[in-house]
Amino acid sequence: MSVTAPQGFEAAGVAVGLKSTGKPDVAVIVNRGPLKTGAAVFTSNRAKANPILWSEQVIRDGVVEAIVLNSGGANCFTGSFGFQTTHQTAERAAELLGVGAGDILVCSTGLIGTGDQVFRDKVLAGVEQGIARLNPEGGPDAANAIMTTDSVQKTATYQADGWSIGGMAKGAGMLAPGLATMLVVLTTDAVLTSSEADAHLRAATRVSFDRLDSDGCMSTNDQVTLMVSGASGVTPDAAAFRAGLTAICSDLARQLQGDAEGASHDISIQVMHAASEEEAVEVGRSVARNNLFKAAIFGNDPNWGRVLAAIGTTTALFDPYDVDVEMNGVRVCSSGGPDRPREEVDLTPRATSIVIDLKVGDASATILTNDLTHDYVHENSAYAS
């Protein structure tokens, strides 16, 4: 059911020709209430797409009636025409729904730097068709409509005592977020204020989507949105809701990791005994963004020296000659020197675990990444073709 699993939401996904494949490419999700609460986090990339610039303004009052998403075009670096297209998208949806355009979020994903009247006309047609087909069973169709290079749709649900959360995500490349990753929509029928929704969303994304660093490239269109209908009538315990939201965000983040472009290994980098959580994240991300390390994992080579070389570029507190490294359960490095023979490490499974013990504190963090493959290079060399 995806985003329509919680009460109070309807969705649709339609095909209007933005994609050459003829697959669905415009999604609409509407909150029927009684609450119309929303929160969102956005890419920290200074180069922001027009829908991000629009949605950053919309979310300020914490009211969201609906969200319109299109694939097949990022509407980024398309000048004033592109921003007008985003504005008209919200206006068309608002007119058909009988609400204000300032309460309609807009998201786009696809190729940067392209957009013309044909693109605009198709998006507006998608808004009209999508709203005409809104239904409580439309979550899966909406999830399909936001896919670009994704090979599968990504959805998740979380059921609690009297309330629930639903979610959908898209993303297979440019996964190196600042607060968010690609496009994610979360819905809940719990009763929350806008400030509560914002606080819970930021806490959940910080330890889920913000820890996914697939290829070190940050998108111009990243947005994670939480829509609150309050239709269950249940006000959840704050800790319980935050745990549920974090669980569903973590689930979707791992689905994004598992569908990363061309990847043959899903790598979990756990940093232990760091001086602070921030330093644990810095160390883990340094390894996740090291192309030599990623290439070694692709070749099933347990080259732990590349791990130490990567963490040595950070400002984190540790002694490089007192660090342990495990690869898939085998401690290959102890106190900055060789430990078990490399031949004991089996890197053929897709799931790959790296554990780094800094031995300086009590903090920890886990970063998710992927290996660097021939297929990734090929897919991104031909992305605009």
Closest among 220, 282, 256, 278 to 44, alpha carbons compared: 220
Across the beta sheet with 223-228, what order do the strands follow?
A: 37-42, 223-228, 183-188, 164-170, 154-159
Tell me whether the omega of the peptide bond preceding residue 177 falls within 30 degrees of 0, making it cis: no
269 sits in which H/E element: strand 266-274
CA dihedral over 37, 168, 147, 113, signed as positive or negative: positive
First vs last Cα of the chain: how many Å apart?
A: 34
The residue among 312, 304, 253 whose CA lies nearest residue 283 is 312
Residues serving a catalytic function are: 181
SS3 7: coil
Going by C-alpha positions, the residue among 382, 179, 176 that lies closest to residue 294 is 176
Element (H, E) at 238: helix 238-258
3-state secondary structure of 68: strand
Query: Which region, left, alpha or beta, applies to residue 72 given φ > 0 means left and ψ of -120 to 50 means alpha?
Result: left
3-state secondary structure of 89: helix
| Residue 219: closest CA among 263, 186, 255, 181 | 181
How far apart CA 16 and CA 135 sit, in angstroms, is 19
Q: How far apart are CA 110 and CA 113, in angstroms?
A: 10
Contact present, 262 and 379 (Cβ < 8 Å): yes
Q: Which of 247, 208, 199, 215 is nearest to 365 (CA)?
A: 208
